[in-house]
Structure 1
Amino acid sequence: MTWQAAHLVSRKDETAEAVTLVFGVPGWPGHLPGQHVDVRLTADDGYSTQRSYSIAAPDHGAQVELTVQVVPDGEVSPFVARDLVVGDPVELRGPIGGWFVWHPQSTRPTLLLAGGSGIVPLMAMLRARHEAGNTAPMLLVYSVRTPADVIYADELARRAQHDDGLTVELLHTREAPVAGGRPPGRLTREELASWIDGLGVGSDVFVCGPTGFVDAAADALVDIGVPARLVRTERFGPSGG
């Protein structure tokens, strides 16, 4: 893979700390839902730094859509999310990854487990499913701290209502909506077992989020009988930013 010149085409605020950025990338080779890219920034004095970001949308030709959440004290994400303006240049390298990918023609039941900004590559899968007219059973379980932290909130509500075979479950760990039925709390083994019961232990599973969330969910899934080979994971390490 080589670095490719890109420029920012548009930006959209998703939450107070997350923004979606669309980059124009001439000659982009295409990608699958779940893959990611490296983004490199270079200052006028020649200093450069790079970070990896998941792609938020299916392949749309010469455009790459990323959703970036600000990492406190991060070196790259605050600039990318808050200071990058339309027309600004960056370099992209990718697509990267061949294991954590979902194929739009899949007919297998699928469970998607997202923690925080781990929703980003899973959103690419939901969007690809919609665009392909795929109606195979898919359940997204999205764990966030508070209702204000839900990325893509409006679109998720719309897709849950209109996309055949898609179910969206929002879990809040610190503050739940007043009208919500589930009290705040972390994802439980019992909840996972119930969802797997509905989909079947042979379902494909994609888990993305902070390392602690991913490890706990993956261990619980294997404990309740899901074959480890069907559990695909993507972790956000503590050194990102």
Structure 2
Amino acid sequence: MTIRAITPVTPRVKSFRFGPLDRPHRAGQHVDVRLTAPDGYQAQRSYSIASAPGDPAGIELMIEGLEAGEVSGFFDTVAEVGDAIELRGPLGAFSWSPAEGGPVLLIAGGSGIVPLLAMVRERTRHAPEVPMLLIYSVRKAAEAIAWAELAALSRDETGFDLTLLLTREGPTAGRRIDRVMINTAIECLGMPRHAFVCGGNGFVGAVADLLVDAGVKPGVVRTERFGG
């Protein structure tokens, strides 16, 4: 597929727009991206789709430039509009559709927001009646992906609530998602029918344990892990 647009999202994350996939995706799914060097060497990584299914602007990937990242480094410093990129997908069972209803609890750490952003956007487009609450943990406000969009949705849409936890600045510096925060979210939302957690390995494991300790059935909790 061809890159149609590149837009900065945060100091380290860029949005890449492609055309529509040849088959529909579900909010939360990902694609595999494969790059091939002139000498035949190949590198492949998986990236979640940020756009809602059926977005007329095509699919959107949000890719964080990582030090020594073979694929992310290419997108951060080399990729240009018009480049042809190999994509395979959509893939993955970490997904939600309006037909599954709610309440839906979303918990993201850092760039783990991307597949959950697709779920938020899908709710806005096709199921605004579904209660949804997002807890987003990120180091600094400048690193919060799609923050203006999420804040506007929280302000303007009934039934969508948002909590931003800054772990490296402001009054919440040094705090992590804890049982009190989980309990407060459940009191606001109600016991979730679906709970999605996405982020680094340690983050996901800790949050999943907190949810189960708070009374969320293990089968309700679905996780996606982004590296270490």
**TM-score range with shorter-chain normalisation?**
over 0.9
Stretches of structure 2 lacking an aligned partner (at least 5 in a row) = none
What is aligned with 1:208?
Answer: 198
Q: Check the 8 A contact 1:37/1:94 in 2, yes or no.
A: yes
Letter in 2 for 1:97: G
1:225 shift after superposition: 0.9
Query: 2:144 & 2:25 partners in 1: Cα distance?
Result: 25
Query: 1:201 & 1:154 partners in 2: Cα distance?
Result: 27
Moved over 6 A (4+): none
What is aligned with 1:3?
Answer: none
Q: Secondary structure at the match of 1:125?
A: helix
1:147 shift after superposition: 0.9
Letter in 2 for 1:107: G
What is aligned with 1:227?
Answer: 217
The aligned length equals: 227
- Return the TM-score normalized by structure 1: 0.89
Q: Secondary structure at the match of 1:216?
A: helix
Deviates more, 1:153-162 or 1:192-201: 192-201
Distance 1:202 1:156, change over 3 A: closer
Structure 2 residue 79 is the aligned partner of structure 1 residue 89: no
What is aligned with 2:58?
Answer: 63
Letter in 1 for 2:98: P
Stretches of structure 1 lacking an aligned partner (at least 5 in a row) = 1-5
What is aligned with 1:15?
Answer: 10
Measured on the aligned residues, the alpha-carbon RMSD in Å equals 1.6
Query: 1:7 & 1:147 partners in 2: Cα distance?
Result: 32
Deviates more, 1:192-201 or 1:206-215: 192-201
The counterpart of 1:80, out of the listed 32, 56, 75, is 75
Q: What CA deviation, in whole Å up to 9, does each residue of 1:175-234 have, x standing for no partner?
A: 12xxxx645411111111121123233431100000111000000111111100000100
Query: 1:48 & 1:63 partners in 2: Cα distance?
Result: 26
Q: Check the 8 A contact 1:108/1:136 in 2, yes or no.
A: yes
Q: Check the 8 A contact 2:105/2:192 in 1, yes or no.
A: no
Q: Secondary structure at the match of 1:66?
A: strand
Trace 1:7-156 onto structure 2 (pairs within 5 A).
7-24=2-19, 28-60=22-54, 63-98=58-93, 100-156=94-150
What is aligned with 2:227?
Answer: 237
Query: 1:223 & 1:146 partners in 2: Cα distance?
Result: 28
Letter in 2 for 1:40: R
Q: Check the 8 A contact 1:201/1:227 in 2, yes or no.
A: no
Letter in 2 for 1:19: K
